[in-house]
C-alpha cells in the first residue's frame, strides 16, 4: 500500500483545494482521481500565476509534481 498527501506551492493570493487531500493506492497500477479547485481574484489580461501540486509519499521517498498555471484573459463584451 502507498499513501500520498497533496502539498501546494505557489499561487499566491489564490485559495487552492485538493479533494481528496490523500490518495491511497492498494495495488500495482491502481488509479485514483482528485479534484483541484482554484478560487481567487480575477487576473488582469496576460497575467500569469503559477505553482505546483505535489503528491508526497508517506515516507517522503517519492514525489509526483504537476504544474498549475492561471492566466488572465481578455473578457469579451
Domain that holds residue 18: 2-71
Structural domain contains residue 24: yes
Provide the whole-model pTM. 0.80
Q: Average pLDDT, whole number, for the chain?
A: 90
Calculate Rg over the CA atoms of the chain: 15
pLDDT higher than threshold 80 for residue 77: no
Whole-angstrom distance, CA of residue 7 vs CA of residue 58: 12
pLDDT at 74: 62
CA distances from 65 to 8, 30, 42, 45, 74 (A): 10, 18, 26, 27, 29
CATH number at residue 30: 2.60.40.2310
**pLDDT tens digit sequence for 6-18:** 999 998 888 999 9
Domain count within the chain: 1
pLDDT at 59: 85
Mean pLDDT of 16-28: 95
Contact between 3 and 57 (Cβ < 8 Å): yes
Structural domain contains residue 20: yes
Whole-angstrom distance, CA of residue 70 vs CA of residue 18: 16
Structural domain contains residue 76: no
Asked if omega into 20 is within 30° of 0 (cis), the reply is: yes
Structural domain contains residue 36: yes
Amino acid at each position: 500500500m502507498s499513501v500520498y498527501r497533496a502539498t501546494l506551492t505557489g499561487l499566491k493570493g489564490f485559495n487552492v483545494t485538493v479533494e481528496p487531500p490523500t490518495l491511497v493506492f492498494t495495488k500495482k497500477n491502481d488509479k485514483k482521481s482528485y479534484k483541484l479547485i482554484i478560487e481567487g481574484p480575477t487576473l488582469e489580461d496576460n497575467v500569469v500565476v503559477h505553482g505546483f501540486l505535489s503528491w508526497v509519499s508517506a515516507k517522503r521517498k517519492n514525489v509526483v509534481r504537476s504544474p498549475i498555471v492561471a492566466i488572465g484573459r481578455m473578457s469579451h463584451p
